[in-house]
Chain A
Amino acid sequence: MSTDTTADAITSRPAGREARERLYRYLLFACAATSIFVTVGIVFLLAKDAIDFFTLVSPVEFFTGTTWLLPRNEFGVLPLLTGTLLVTVIAAAIALPVGVAAAVYLSEYASERARSVLKPALEILAGIPTVVYGIFALVYVTPFLRFFGLPLNTFNVLSASVMVGIMIIPMISSLSEDAMSAVPDSLREAAYGVGATKYEVSTGVVIPAAVSGIFSSFILALSRAIGETMIVAVAMGSRSRLFDFANPLQNLWQGNQPMTAAMIQINSADNVSGPGFKSMFAIGLTLFVITFLMNLVSNRIAARYREEYN
C-alpha cells in the first residue's frame, strides 16, 4: 500500500454522507418533537374548549355548584370532584400500605427464588386491562363484601375503590422496591452491626433512606387512580352525589360518579349538545390541572429528600 492511498483513505468522503447524517438528525428530532407538539396541542385545545364552556357557564357556578345534572343544565363540579377524591382516598388507604409492605418483602426478605416468581407476577397484575378489574368489582367484589354484611348497592363506591387500589399496588411496590434496592448495603450493615433486627433495619433504615422514591411512587400511583376511568365507569354507576358528611359510611354503599366517568357519559350520550357537551372539556381541564400539580409537588419532594450515596 503506497502513501498515496493512505492520504486518499483519510481525505475521501463518500458522496451524500453529510446529507444523510443531516436527514437522520431531522428524523430523530421529528420523532422527539411530535410527542411534545401533540401534548401541547391537546392541552391547548382542552383549554380552548373549556374557555368556550366558561363563556356559557360561569366558573363560579362550575366550581361551587353542588349539583351535577346535565338534563337540567346544572353544572356544579363539586359532586364529581368529591367522587374522585373519595375513590382516590380509599384506593390509597389500601394500596399505599400493601404496596410498601410488598416492596419491603421483595427487597429485604424474599429469597432470590421467591423474588424471581413474585416480581413478574406483580408486573402481570399491572398488565390486566382495567375494564376487567371493573367487571370483577361488579360481579365478584360486591357480592363478596355483601357476604360480610355490608349494605352495598349494586353499583357502589367501595368495590370500585378497592379494585382501583388493587390496580395501583403493582405500581407502588415495583417503584418502591427499586428505591429500596438502591439503598446501599453499608447502611444495612451499620444497623445490623449495632444489633438491629431485620424488621428494624427495614423500617428504620431502608424505608427512610428510600423515602423519596417511595413518595414518587405514591404520587404516580395516585395520579393513576385519579385518572382511572373504566373501573369506576363499570362498577360505580352513573349518578353523581355530593359527599354526605352527615352519613359518611353511606357514601361508600351508594354509587357515585367521579370526573372521568362523567366525561365518558357526556361523550357517549347523543342527545347532549351546547354547554352540556362542552362541560366535558372543563372537567378534563380540571383533572389535568390536578394531576399536573401532583406531579410538580412530587418532583419537588423527591428532589428535597433525595440522598446522594457514593
Chain B
Amino acid sequence: MTNENMNTAASTETQPSATADPTSEPLVEQSISVDNTSDRTTVDGETVIRSKDLDVFYGETQALQSVSLEIPENQVTAMIGPSGCGKSTFLRCINRMNDLIDVARIDGELTFDGKNVYDEDVDPVALRRRIGMVFQHPNPFPKSIYDNVAYGLRIQNRDVDMDAVVEESLKKAALWDEVKDRLDESALDLSGGQQQRLCIARAIAVDPQVVLMDEPASALDPIATSKIEDLIEDLAEEYTVVIVTHNMQQAARISDTTAVFLTGGELVEFDDTDKIFEDPESQRVEDYITGKFG
C-alpha cells in the first residue's frame, strides 16, 4: 500500500527550488492535488475508509473540497486544522451524521470496507452500528451508568450477556474501577472526564469497527484529557480510530497518521504523523503547525 509517489507534486510555491517545474516530475496517481498540496492520500496499513473527490456543501457554502484520503485500519488517524476547515464535516460524512442536517449535500465517493456509504442501498442505521462516534461534549443519556452502556445493545436486540458486555466495555474505557459500585446511579452525576469515558464505553459496547471522535477532550481538564489520550491509544489495538482535534500536540502524541485541513475545506497534507510534524511538505502546513497561522 505504500505510495511510492509520495510528495512528488509538492508546490512550486512552498518548495520553489525542489520542484521548479511540477510537470517534469514523475506522473502521480492522483490528479486532484491542488498546487501547494502534497498529493499523498495513502499511508501504510490496510485501508478501511477511503474517500475520493469528496465534496460537501451546506446550502451554498462548500465545506469540503475534493478530499481524497485513505484511513488505515487499527491505527489512530488525526484530523487537524483551524476552526471551520471542514475536519468535523469530514468525520460526520463517514457515518452519515450529516444526513441529520437538511441542507447538507455530498458529492464524490466515501467507501467503508469497499462499499460507498452514500449508495442508495446503504442503511445509515446499520452503518452507524459499525462506525461508532464520540462527541465534543460528553453527552450521556439521563439514565443510569449501566443503561447508558447497554443502550446500543438494547436497541439492536443483541442476544448477549448484557452484564458482561457492560463490564468489559467500561473496563476498556478505563472507567470500571471508578463506577463498578454505582452502576445504577445517574450518569449525569459523573465528572466531565468520567462522562466522556462513559460515552466511549457506550460507543464500543456494540463492538464497532471504527470509532470516530470529534474533539473528544476539548471540553475536559488536562488530567481528564491525558486519560482520554491514553485510552485512545489503547483503543487503536482493536478499533480504527479517527479523531478530530484542534490540539496539535494531542495529534502528535496519539496519532499514527495525520490529515491537515486548512481553511476552505481543503485537505492540504496527509501523511505519517511524524512526517507531518517534523518535515511537512507544504509551507502552509508548516506555518500552521508552528503557529504562524490558524
The chain A residues found within 8 Å of chain B, CB to CB, are: 184, 186-197, 200, 204-205, 208-209, 307-308
Expressed in whole angstroms, the Cα–Cα distance for A194 and B198 within the complex equals 13
Asked if A192 and B100 make an inter-chain contact with CB atoms under 8 angstroms apart, the answer reads yes
Q: Does B132 contact A (CB under 8 A)?
A: yes
Asked if A189 and B135 make an inter-chain contact with CB atoms under 8 angstroms apart, the answer reads yes
Expressed in whole angstroms, the Cα–Cα distance for A205 and B58 within the complex equals 27
Cβ–Cβ < 8 Å partners of A307 in chain B:
142, 188
Asked if A204 and B132 make an inter-chain contact with CB atoms under 8 angstroms apart, the answer reads no
Asked if B155 and A196 make an inter-chain contact with CB atoms under 8 angstroms apart, the answer reads yes
Mask: chain B, 122-148; 1 = CB below 8 Å from A; 0 = not: 000111110011110101111100000
Q: Does B79 contact A (CB under 8 A)?
A: no
Q: Does B23 contact A (CB under 8 A)?
A: no
Cβ–Cβ < 8 Å partners of A187 in chain B:
139, 141-142
Cβ–Cβ < 8 Å partners of A194 in chain B:
128-129, 132-133, 151-152, 155, 202-203, 205-206
Residue picked from B95, B132, B134, B151, most chain A C-beta under 10 Å:
B151
Query: Taking the nearest CB of chain B, how far is it from the CB of A171, in angstroms?
Result: 25
Nearest residue in B to A184 (C-beta to C-beta)?
B139
Q: Which of B134, B135, B156 interacts with A195 by CB under 8 Å?
A: B156
Asked if A192 and B137 make an inter-chain contact with CB atoms under 8 angstroms apart, the answer reads no
Q: Which of B100, B139, B205, B206 interacts with A190 by CB under 8 Å?
A: B139
Asked if B128 and A193 make an inter-chain contact with CB atoms under 8 angstroms apart, the answer reads yes
Q: Which of A193, A197, A204, A308 interacts with B135 by CB under 8 Å?
A: A193
The chain B residues found within 8 Å of chain A, CB to CB, are: 95, 97, 100, 125-129, 132-135, 137, 139-143, 151-152, 155-156, 188, 199, 202-203, 205-206
Query: Taking the nearest CB of chain B, how far is it from the CB of A193, in angstroms?
Result: 4
Add 10 more A-B contacts to A192-B128, A194-B203 (CB < 8 A): A186-B137, A187-B139, A191-B141, A192-B97, A194-B129, A194-B133, A195-B126, A204-B151, A204-B155, A307-B142
Nearest residue in B to A194 (C-beta to C-beta)?
B152
Expressed in whole angstroms, the Cα–Cα distance for A1 and B161 within the complex equals 86
Cβ–Cβ < 8 Å partners of B188 in chain A:
307-308
Cβ–Cβ < 8 Å partners of A308 in chain B:
188
Cβ–Cβ < 8 Å partners of B202 in chain A:
190, 194
Q: Which of A195, A204, A205, A209 interacts with B129 by CB under 8 Å?
A: A195
Query: Taking the nearest CB of chain A, how far is it from the CB of B92, in angstroms?
Result: 9
Asked if B135 and A190 make an inter-chain contact with CB atoms under 8 angstroms apart, the answer reads yes
Asked if B143 and A208 make an inter-chain contact with CB atoms under 8 angstroms apart, the answer reads yes
Nearest residue in B to A197 (C-beta to C-beta)?
B125
Cβ–Cβ < 8 Å partners of B141 in chain A:
187, 190-191, 205, 208-209
Asked if A193 and B155 make an inter-chain contact with CB atoms under 8 angstroms apart, the answer reads no
Asked if A193 and B133 make an inter-chain contact with CB atoms under 8 angstroms apart, the answer reads yes
Expressed in whole angstroms, the Cα–Cα distance for A188 and B151 within the complex equals 13
Query: Taking the nearest CB of chain A, how far is it from the CB of B98, in angstroms?
Result: 11
Query: Taking the nearest CB of chain A, how far is it from the CB of B113, in angstroms?
Result: 16
Asked if A195 and B206 make an inter-chain contact with CB atoms under 8 angstroms apart, the answer reads yes
Closest 9 CB pairs of A and B: A195-B129, A194-B152, A193-B133, A186-B139, A195-B128, A307-B142, A190-B139, A200-B155, A196-B155
Expressed in whole angstroms, the Cα–Cα distance for A4 and B203 within the complex equals 73
Residue picked from B95, B155, B188, B205, most chain A C-beta under 10 Å:
B155
Asked if B100 and A193 make an inter-chain contact with CB atoms under 8 angstroms apart, the answer reads no
Expressed in whole angstroms, the Cα–Cα distance for A205 and B129 within the complex equals 17
Cβ–Cβ < 8 Å partners of A197 in chain B:
125, 155
Cβ–Cβ < 8 Å partners of B97 in chain A:
189, 192-193
Cβ–Cβ < 8 Å partners of B133 in chain A:
189, 193-194
Nearest residue in B to A308 (C-beta to C-beta)?
B188
Cβ–Cβ < 8 Å partners of B206 in chain A:
194-195
Given known contacts A191-B151, A208-B142, A196 and B135 CB-to-CB distance under 8 angstroms: no
Nearest residue in B to A193 (C-beta to C-beta)?
B133
Asked if A196 and B125 make an inter-chain contact with CB atoms under 8 angstroms apart, the answer reads yes
Cβ–Cβ < 8 Å partners of B127 in chain A:
195
Given known contacts A195-B125, A196-B125, A189 and B156 CB-to-CB distance under 8 angstroms: no
Expressed in whole angstroms, the Cα–Cα distance for A247 and B79 within the complex equals 71
Cβ–Cβ < 8 Å partners of A190 in chain B:
135, 139-141, 199, 202
Query: Taking the nearest CB of chain B, how far is it from the CB of A211, in angstroms?
Result: 9
Expressed in whole angstroms, the Cα–Cα distance for A308 and B126 within the complex equals 32
Expressed in whole angstroms, the Cα–Cα distance for A41 and B260 within the complex equals 72
Nearest residue in B to A200 (C-beta to C-beta)?
B155
* CB<8 Å pairs between A and B, sample of 25: A184-B139, A186-B135, A187-B139, A187-B142, A189-B135, A189-B139, A190-B140, A190-B202, A191-B155, A193-B97, A193-B135, A193-B203, A194-B129, A194-B132, A194-B133, A194-B151, A194-B152, A194-B202, A195-B125, A195-B127, A195-B206, A196-B125, A196-B155, A197-B155, A208-B141
Expressed in whole angstroms, the Cα–Cα distance for A193 and B100 within the complex equals 11
Expressed in whole angstroms, the Cα–Cα distance for A107 and B100 within the complex equals 14
Expressed in whole angstroms, the Cα–Cα distance for A190 and B202 within the complex equals 9
Expressed in whole angstroms, the Cα–Cα distance for A307 and B132 within the complex equals 26
Asked if B199 and A195 make an inter-chain contact with CB atoms under 8 angstroms apart, the answer reads no
Expressed in whole angstroms, the Cα–Cα distance for A195 and B126 within the complex equals 6
Residue picked from A193, A196, A209, A308, most chain B C-beta under 10 Å:
A193
Expressed in whole angstroms, the Cα–Cα distance for A308 and B189 within the complex equals 11
Expressed in whole angstroms, the Cα–Cα distance for A195 and B139 within the complex equals 15
Query: Taking the nearest CB of chain B, how far is it from the CB of A48, in angstroms?
Result: 47
Expressed in whole angstroms, the Cα–Cα distance for A209 and B139 within the complex equals 12
Residue picked from A192, A204, A308, most chain B C-beta under 10 Å:
A192
